[in-house]
Structures are given as C-alpha cells and as structure tokens.
C-alpha cells in the first residue's frame, strides 16, 4: 500500500474519530483517550495485515497511521513492556540480535524490530503488531533499535529498562547534520529517561560525553587492546576534547576515534569499563575468540560473527543483557550462538555460489568492512552497490573518506571488483583514484544482470550495498532465488 | 604516460585533522594522483593546529571544510602568525583551494544566526552570515570563462550565506542549487590565485578540467609556461555527466 493511500485512510479515520467524539457520545476523558488509542491500534493492525496481503514489507505506514490518530499511542503500547533501547551510529542491528538471543536463552519472552525500521513510525508498527486487540503486549520484553535522531521522540513515550549507545561516528551529514547534533539528540533523550540504565561505549569519547550531566546508573563497555595488527589509519571523528577543546592522546587505538583516549590538558579520559574485552585470541571468517571480563569475572567467549567491529557489538550486547539481569553464562552463550541480522554478513546461496551481504553506510563502518575483507584469504569477488536515496544519505562524498586504497593492496585476493547502484559511476571513479585501472573495474547497472553474473562465479562473493541498494537486491533475490520474506 | 623529469609541486594541506569534513581529502588524493600519473613529483605537507606555517616553499594550499565545533577549535590558532602567513601567501600569488568552512575562514568574518561575530583571516573580500535554513543538495555551476568555463557538479551543505565584496569575484554562476547565498547566483570566490567553493567533498575528482587548471597555475610559478600533458578522463566525465543529466543540463 502506498504511503499516499495510508495518509488518506489516516485523515479519514481522524475525521470520523473527531465526529464521533464531538457528536452524541458523552464520554469521560479517560474513556475517550482509551477509545482513541484502541482506534489507532486496530487501524494500525489492519494496515499491517493489508501490507502483508499486498506482499509489501510495510514497516512504516501502519505506525504513521496510528500516530496520526493517537500521537501518544506508543506510550500505551509500551507500558508494561520491559524495553531495552539500542542506539548509536554503527552496530545497532547486530547488538540487537545478540541481545534478543540472550533474552531468549534466559527464558524471557521478547519481540524486536528486526527489519531495521527504527524511526518512531517503524517502532510503533512493531509494538502494534505485537500487541493484543486490548492493547496489551503479547510479550514481556522488547528489544528496540532506534535511530539516533528519532531517539529524542521515542524516549518521550518509552521508559526503557536501559539505553545502549554503541558508538557515535559521522554519518549521513545531509540527514543528521554534524556529530554534535547527534550528540545533543542523545543528551536530550537521556534527560527524558532518568530511570534507565545507560550502557555506554567507554572507548568512544563522543558517546561518553553524552552522559556528562546525567544522573543515571551507567554500565560501561570497551576493548582494552588493539583489535587489528599494525597501524590504524582511519580519520578520527573526534580529535579534540569535548570539554576543553585540547587534543586527545591515545594509549592505543582500536579503530576510528575509539580506544584509550585521554585529554592532553584536562581530566577527561577513558575509564576502565565494567565489561571489557581484555584479549583477542583468534579471528577468522566464522568469528572472533576473545577473553571478556564482566565486572571482573573472566570468560573465554566466541563471537559468532566475523569482523573486528563485532567485538564492540558483543561488548555492547553484554552490557545491555547485564542491565536486563541476564546472567554471565547466558551472555557468553548468546555471543557464541546468535545469528547476524539483515545484511550483516548475511549469507545467501545464489545458484550454488556463496554470497555474503554486508551493509555499508558511512566511512567508519565501511572502513571496518574493508579491514575485514583485506584480512581474509582465498580468492573472492567484491561488489559495491552505491545508492544516494534519502535512506542511504543523498551525499555520497563519504566514499572519499573510506580507505579503498587498502583494497587495491589486496588485488591478489580479488577475482574481480564490480560496482553497481544509482551512483556506480562515482564509485568507479573513487576506485580509480584508490589504485584500480579502469580496465580492472566493471560497472553493471542492472541488478538482474548483476545477480546472473554473480551466480556464474566459482569463488565466494562479497556484496557491499548501501541501504536502499540492499533492499532492491533483496527484493529481486527473494523473487528469483526463493528467499524468505523479511517481515518482522 | 608522459614523464616530466624533475618537475615537482609542494602542496600544503592546512588543518587536515580539523577541516576534513566528508570527503575533503578526495581533493588531495585527486591532485596527488593526477600529478603522479604524469610523472610529476608531489610533496604533501600537513599543517595541523599548533604547527607553524612556512609558506615560502609552498606552491599550493588546500583547506577543507569543518563542523562548527572544529571551526571553533581552530580560531585561537588562526590569531596572529598563521593568519599573517596565509595573507602574505595569498598576496604573493600562491594558489589556494578552499572548500566550505575553509572558504569562510579565508573571508573577513562570520556572523552566526544569533548575532555573534567571529573574525576570520580576511585574505579575501568575503563575509558570511549564518542562516536558519541549510542549503543542501547536489548542485551545479559554470565557472567564469576566464577560469575555463567548466560545468562543475558537486554537493553543497551549508547554512552560512557568503557575500563577496568588490575585491573578489565568484568562481562561477549557479546553474542548479544555491551557491554562495542562494540569492545572487554566484558560487565560490576568486581573488588572485585563490579558488573557493561551497562544493564540498570531492570537488576535483569529478571535475578534472578545474583540477588541472589549478595544478597548472601552481606549477607555472615554479616552471613558467608549463603545460600539463593530457590524461584519459573517461570515468571522471562519466560521473560528472551522470549528475549533470540528473540535474537537467547537458555537460557540453
């Protein structure tokens, strides 16, 4: 169902609702509120059903409809549900998957916004889908990932058990504005939820500064040692102290601006986290083995998803699970057994060829993916799909901040480097300046042709799409290769 | 590929850790590669906050854009010697490319939306006033004929509105988008060998004509009459004409 039709239904419903209320019915205020809430919920539920019947994902429209009728619908829907909120620039989805696994392993009954619809409307849709007709939730717990900018609205209605902030990096400047805007949105949100435990990344000076004025209880998490061998060359998104504007010094760096930071002139510095990875034992295609300390108890843990950045997601999830009262043993079990989310190293079989989809959306995240791909061995084909629609960020300048030069240093591994998506030409240009000859790159604009060519490969394929490119690719793959649909 | 023996260029990247907003370093990568592909040597010196600026040996200066927080961080560093050095270099005819925040900083002052004025370097006759509305999106402008007349595509994202005084002229005329202030149709600034633009991130890669013109100007100070050999620029033109077509203009 198109959003236009949804808006029309919402307008009509709001109109009739007002007619009823202003008309012959004389209700007490509380009853009117309840009537309004139930109308919003039921119409939202009908919209969810309609979307499914029509074969659309429809994760936003039902929520928007419900919000038009009852702006504080989420307050009613979330009351009585133990909710953990997870926000931050990178790692929200993976962290949520681990948390969901951990809650389930602890025997707690939960739901989550798995499809990544993480704006206010998507979160309302998720709660409405999981509510009974009476408005009561079918589940005791909710694992909700929330967009950083939407968080200040979501926290007006949801009073969570805890808020986890994975990290703060520069991201889609055209949408979020400067890093300081993201930071102030998170600060405002923290002020909205004084009762929530904050689970914060101690290695990220930006995230840490979000709690400067907060009185909330804090569980901190971080990584005590470098994750990658050798020099980390990413740009820093936070070279200067948030309090006194002097330069930060680092005892060690994990990546980007994360690591053992300390201000060169004031007292501001990283504190030893409550939950921390103290050693990286081994890393490979199937995951990373680490030593994790949870409030001074040490465990050997296997993180069931490759990539150094997933070590941070594991720590974030451990902190979040701890806030929910889940025991250490269950946390460690969840780290070793969870399944990656939507487009996070998600593996597909396309005509017998193994293809992994790794979503990219900003320089910090993309650099981590490049690090991962460069550290692997064995021949592989890499495909980058760059779109510039609203959900991707309309400004693609960020590709110039990604160290694609590192990919050019691993040509020995590459059976090919292909580009696709709306801005394929810009991507090809970036790769030319990263050290690939024009003849070494292939531009394939049509997704059907791209998937045909992938299915004809003999070595593994890694696809790096931006968000809308991933959705488009999945749409075609679902039809052609009979993959499962992605409703929540 | 032509090899030019012993020819080299000194580039200074000013405030690389502070003014590095979204892909600004793409311009440095582009200049470096386009020189290297022609066998021209290039030395890139990074001058962060706190380092002295020895401008006499530098042929080309690059200054990127920054967030408000970063622009505040470097204000104290600009007072005194560094601002003097930059003004002297500009007056001496050194080539500058300044983007977004870097462009604003070369101007005289910035008055924020709530009326606070920060003095800047004053190397060019321009001043900036903060606006309530951000000017965001893909945009396109045509360089003045004396600057090659190139049709340039880029992305702008700024709330500051810049107005030029009689001592400077625009780099080009807006074809789509906002440019300096969204009012007078001007985009960027030119003064002596200074080039300023609001086209943030990778201005040069997609606009190789403008890149080569800037490089040639810088090389000619050291090697009078120097002409850059042509380069194959198929990918560059394809990326530029994609955006030009999308914005509704033919690139020719």
Reported as a pLDDT band with limits 50, 70 and 90, residue A20 is low
Q: Which residues of A touch B134 (CB under 8 A)?
A: 177
Residues in chain A: 488
Bin A259: left if φ > 0, else alpha if -120 < ψ < 50, else beta: left
Q: Are A106 and A331 in contact (CB under 8 A)?
A: no
d(CA A271, nearest CA chain B) in Å: 24
Pairing of strands A353-358, A248-255: unpaired
Bin B67: left if φ > 0, else alpha if -120 < ψ < 50, else beta: beta
Domain with CATH 3.40.1190.10 in chain A: 74-337
- Average model confidence (pLDDT) across chain A: 89
pLDDT above 90: residue A377 = no
Q: What is the ipTM of this complex?
A: 0.95
Q: Which residues of B touch A399 (CB under 8 A)?
A: 23
Three-state secondary-structure class, residue A74: helix
Q: Are A365 and A445 in contact (CB under 8 A)?
A: no
User: What are the tens digits of pLDDT across the range A393-424?
Assistant: 899 999 999 999 999 999 999 999 999 999 99
Q: Which residues of B touch A240 (CB under 8 A)?
A: 18, 69-70, 73
B130 and A CB contact within 8 Å: no
d(CA A383, nearest CA chain B) in Å: 18
B30 and A CB contact within 8 Å: yes
User: What are the tens digits of pLDDT across the range A449-467?
Assistant: 999 999 999 999 999 999 9
The matching CATH number, chosen from 3.40.1190.10, 3.40.50.10210, 3.40.50.300, 2.70.150.10, for A74-337 is 3.40.1190.10
pLDDT above 50: residue A211 = yes
Nearest to B136 among A170, A174, A247 (CB): A174
B26 and A CB contact within 8 Å: yes
Q: Are A225 and A311 in contact (CB under 8 A)?
A: no
Reported as a pLDDT band with limits 50, 70 and 90, residue A23 is low
Q: What is the largest CA-CA distance in chain A?
A: 78
Least confident of A35-44, A274-283, A338-347: A338-347
Nearest to A180 among B24, B68, B138 (CB): B68
The answer to whether A429 contacts B70, with C-beta atoms less than 8 Å apart, is no
Give the pLDDT mean for A58-82.
Answer: 93
Least confident of A243-247, A446-450, B242-246: A243-247
CA-based nearest residue in chain A for residue B27: A400
Q: Which residues of B touch A170 (CB under 8 A)?
A: 22
pLDDT over 90, % of chain A: 67
Least confident of A51-60, A105-114, A277-286: A51-60
CA-based nearest residue in chain A for residue B69: A180
Least confident of A1-15, A219-233, A235-249, A308-322: A1-15
Structural fold of domain A344-481: 3.90.190
- Cα dihedral B88, B89, B94, B97, rounded to 10, equals -120
Domain with CATH 3.90.190.20 in chain A: 344-481
pLDDT at B250: 57
Q: Which residues of B are catalytic?
A: 100, 200
Pairing of strands B172-176, B186-187: antiparallel
* DSSP letters spanning B129-159: EEEEEEEEEEEEEEE-GGGT--EEEEEEEEE
pLDDT < 50 positions in chain B: 1-3, 251-252
Least confident of A2-6, A115-119, A230-234: A2-6
Q: Which residues contact A25 (CB under 8 A, 6 or more apart)?
A: none
Nearest to A13 by CA among A33, A54, A41: A41
pLDDT above 50: residue A2 = no
pLDDT at A483: 67
A445 and B CB contact within 8 Å: no
pTM of the model: 0.86
Least confident of A369-378, A432-441, B198-207: A369-378
pLDDT at A365: 87
Cα B212 off chain centre by: 13
The β-bridge partners of A258 are A255
Give the pLDDT mean for A367-381.
Answer: 88
d(CA A245, nearest CA chain B) in Å: 6
Three-state secondary-structure class, residue A118: coil
The β-bridge partners of B42 are B9
Q: Are A161 and A324 in contact (CB under 8 A)?
A: yes
Q: Which residues of A touch B238 (CB under 8 A)?
A: 425, 428-429
Helix (H) or strand (E) holding A452: helix A447-455
pLDDT at B74: 85
**Phi, psi of A370, deg, nearest 5:** -60, -45
pLDDT at A97: 96
pLDDT above 90: residue A382 = yes
User: What are the tens digits of pLDDT across the range A148-195?
Assistant: 999 999 999 999 999 999 999 988 777 777 788 888 899 999 999 999
């Amino acid at each position: 169902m198109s959003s236009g039709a949804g808006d029309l239904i919402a307008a009509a419903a709001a109109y009739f609702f007002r007619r009823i209320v202003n008309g012959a019915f004389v209700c007490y205020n509380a009853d009117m509120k309840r009537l309004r809430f139930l109308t919003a919920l039921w119409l939202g539920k009908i919209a969810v059903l309609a979307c499914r019947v029509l074969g659309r994902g429809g994760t936003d429209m039902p929520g928007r409809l419900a919000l038009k009728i009852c702006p504080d619908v989420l307050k009613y829907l979330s009351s009585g549900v133990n909710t953990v909120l997870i926000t931050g620039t990178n790692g929200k989805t993976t962290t949520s998957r681990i948390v969901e696994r951990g809650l389930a392993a602890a025997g707690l009954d939960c739901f989550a916004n798995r499809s990544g619809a993480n704006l206010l409307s998507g979160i309302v849709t998720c709660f409405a889908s999981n509510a009974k007709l009476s408005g009561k939730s079918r589940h005791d717990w909710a694992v909700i990932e929330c967009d950083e900018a939407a968080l200040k609205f979501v926290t007006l209605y949801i009073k969570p058990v805890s808020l986890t902030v994975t990290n703060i990096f520069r991201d889609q400047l055209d949408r979020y504005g400067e890093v300081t805007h993201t930071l102030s949105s998170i600060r405002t949100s923290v002020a909205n939820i004084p009762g929530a435990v904050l689970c914060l990344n101690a290695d990220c000076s930006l995230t840490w500064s979000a709690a400067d004025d907060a009185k909330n209880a804090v569980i901190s998490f971080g990584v005590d040692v470098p994750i990658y061998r050798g020099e980390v060359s990413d740009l820093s998104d936070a070279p200067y102290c948030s309090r006194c504007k002097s330069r930060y010094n680092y005892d060690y760096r994990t990546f980007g601006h994360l690591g053992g930071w300390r201000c060169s002139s004031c007292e501001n510095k990283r504190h030893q986290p409550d939950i921390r990875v103290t050693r990286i034992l081994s890393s490979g295609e199937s995951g990373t083995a680490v030593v994790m300390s949870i409030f001074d108890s040490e465990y050997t843990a296997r993180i069931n998803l490759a990539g150094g950045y997933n070590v941070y997601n594991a720590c974030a999830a451990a902190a979040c699970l701890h806030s929910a009262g889940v025991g250490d043993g269950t946390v460690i079990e969840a780290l070793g057994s969870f399944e990656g989310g939507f487009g996070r190293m998600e593996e597909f079989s396309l005509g017998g060829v193994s293809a992994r989809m790794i979503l990219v959306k900003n320089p910090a995240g993309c650099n981590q993916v490049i690090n991962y791909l460069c550290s692997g061995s064995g021949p592989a084909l890499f495909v980058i799909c760059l779109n510039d629609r609203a959900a991707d960020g309309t400004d693609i300048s960020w590709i110039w901040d990604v160290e694609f030069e590192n990919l050019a240093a691993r040509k020995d591994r590459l059976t090919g480097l292909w580009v696709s998506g709306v801005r394929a030409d810009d991507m090809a240009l970036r790769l030319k300046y990263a050290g690939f000859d024009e003849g070494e790159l292939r531009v394939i604009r049509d997704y059907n042709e791209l998937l045909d060519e992938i299915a004809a490969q003999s070595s593994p394929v890694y696809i790096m799409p931006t968000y809308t490119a991933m959705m488009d690719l999945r749409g075609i793959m679902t039809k052609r290769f009979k993959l499962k649909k992605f409703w929540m | 590929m032509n090899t030019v023996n012993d020819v080299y260029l000194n580039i200074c990247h000013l405030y690389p850790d502070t003014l590095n907003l979204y892909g600004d370093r793409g311009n440095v990568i582009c200049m470096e590669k386009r020189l290297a592909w022609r066998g021209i040597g290039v030395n890139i010196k990074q001058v962060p906050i706190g380092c002295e600026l020895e401008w006499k040996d530098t042929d080309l200066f690059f200054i990127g854009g920054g967030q408000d927080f970063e622009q505040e961080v470097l204000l104290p560093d600009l007072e005194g010697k560094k601002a003097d050095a930059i003004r002297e270099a500009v007056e001496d005819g050194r080539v500058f490319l300044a983007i977004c925040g870097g462009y604003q900083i070369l101007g005289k002052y910035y008055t924020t939306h709530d009326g606070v004025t920060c003095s800047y370097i004053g190397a060019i006759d321009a001043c900036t006033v903060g606006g309530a509305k951000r000017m965001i999106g893909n945009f396109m402008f045509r360089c003045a004929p004396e600057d090659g007349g190139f049709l340039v595509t880029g992305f702008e994202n700024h709330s500051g509105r810049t107005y030029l005084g009689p001592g400077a002229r625009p780099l080009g005329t807006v074809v789509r988008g906002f440019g300096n202030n969204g009012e007078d149709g001007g985009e960027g600034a030119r003064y002596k060998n200074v080039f300023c633009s609001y086209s943030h991130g990778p201005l040069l890669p997609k606009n190789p004509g403008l890149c080569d013109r800037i490089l040639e100007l810088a090389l000619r100070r050291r090697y009078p009459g120097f002409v850059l050999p042509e380069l194959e620029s198929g990918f560059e033109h394809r990326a530029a004409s994609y955006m030009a077509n999308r914005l509704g203009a033919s690139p020719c």
